[in-house]
């Protein structure tokens, strides 16, 4: 795989322009760690280190088979990756399926050369990461807590108020406790 790159607004813009050109679309939702390159471009470098920017096009009449055939043009083996050191990963709207209500209103809206983007708000990114619960996601939340991007109590309140399913609430709170434990046991780098 590739090594993580430090992403900022210029990298975000390059990814959006390339996605618009390759997919022939003018509206995208940006999720995942790479979304911080637009929503918090001045946040700690460690938080913005990633191999990719995750996004998906929105709109009517999308042909997902056609889109899938175009994915390699922005992937790990692409010219885009060779030039920029990171790749664009097309995901789907399933990534926000269980987000708390109002995520679209909280999202940051940015336009890049007439291409509309909806960028997941950092609090919704935290929810998404805690929902996924992979080791790298828990470590991300721990670092974001250390850096002050999130306050533990506010994040816990957001989870409690926004989670619609009891089983998911338990998972999210367990993952938040894991992140909190990492903050408590790891010195800040």
Is residue 83 domain-shared with residue 141, that is, in the same domain? no
Q: In angstroms, rounded to a whole number, what is the distance separating the alpha carbons of residues 71 and 46?
A: 27
Last residue of a domain, one of 88, 120, 152: 120
Q: Which residues are bridge partners to 54 per DSSP? A: 31, 89
Last residue of a domain, one of 69, 88, 120: 120
Q: State residue 188's pLDDT score.
A: 55
Is residue 104 domain-shared with residue 14, that is, in the same domain? yes
Q: In angstroms, rounded to a whole number, what is the distance separating the alpha carbons of residues 105 and 169?
A: 22
Is residue 67 domain-shared with residue 145, that is, in the same domain? no
Domain with 100 in it:
5-120
- Angle of CA points 150, 154, 155, to nearest 5°: 60
Q: State residue 149's pLDDT score.
A: 95
Q: In angstroms, rounded to a whole number, what is the distance separating the alpha carbons of residues 76 and 152?
A: 35
The pLDDT profile of the chain, 189 residues, written as one tens digit per residue, is 678 999 999 999 999 999 999 999 999 999 999 999 999 999 999 999 999 999 999 988 899 999 999 999 999 999 999 999 999 999 999 999 999 999 999 999 999 999 999 999 999 999 999 999 999 999 999 999 999 999 999 999 999 999 999 999 999 999 999 999 999 876 554
Q: State residue 1's pLDDT score.
A: 60
pTM attached to this predicted model? 0.93
Q: In angstroms, rounded to a whole number, what is the distance separating the alpha carbons of residues 181 and 124?
A: 21
The tokens 């938040």 sit on which residue? 176
In terms of Cβ atoms closer than 10 Å to its own Cβ (0-12, 13-18, 19+), residue 30 is buried
Is residue 25 domain-shared with residue 110, that is, in the same domain? yes
Tell which residue, 81, 88, 87, 178, has the closest CA to residue 129: 178
Q: State residue 185's pLDDT score.
A: 77
Q: State residue 2's pLDDT score.
A: 73
Is residue 18 domain-shared with residue 110, that is, in the same domain? yes
Q: Which residues are bridge partners to 88 per DSSP? A: 53
Last residue of a domain, one of 87, 120, 153: 120
Q: What is the CATH number of the domain that holds 34?
A: 3.30.460
Q: In angstroms, rounded to a whole number, what is the distance separating the alpha carbons of residues 189 and 147?
A: 10
């Amino acid at each position: 795989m590739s090594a993580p790159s430090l992403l900022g607004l210029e990298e975000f813009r390059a990814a959006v322009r390339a996605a618009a050109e390759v997919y022939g679309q003018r509206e995208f939702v940006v999720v995942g760690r790479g979304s911080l390159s637009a929503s918090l471009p001045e946040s700690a470098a460690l938080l913005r280190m990633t191999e990719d920017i995750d996004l998906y096009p929105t709109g009517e009449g999308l042909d997902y088979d056609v889109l899938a055939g175009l994915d390699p043009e922005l992937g790990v083996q692409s010219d885009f990756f060779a030039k920029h050191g990171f790749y664009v990963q097309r995901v789907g709207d399933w990534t926000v399926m269980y987000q708390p209500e109002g995520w679209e209103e909280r999202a940051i809206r940015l336009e890049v050369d007439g291409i509309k983007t909806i960028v997941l708000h950092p609090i919704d990114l935290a929810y998404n990461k805690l929902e996924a619960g992979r080791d790298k996601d828990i470590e991300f939340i721990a670092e974001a807590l250390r850096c002050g991007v999130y306050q533990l109590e506010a994040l816990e309140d957001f989870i409690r108020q926004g989670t619609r399913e009891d089983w998911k609430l338990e998972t999210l709170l367990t993952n938040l406790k894991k992140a909190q434990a990492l903050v408590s046991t790891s010195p800040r780098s």
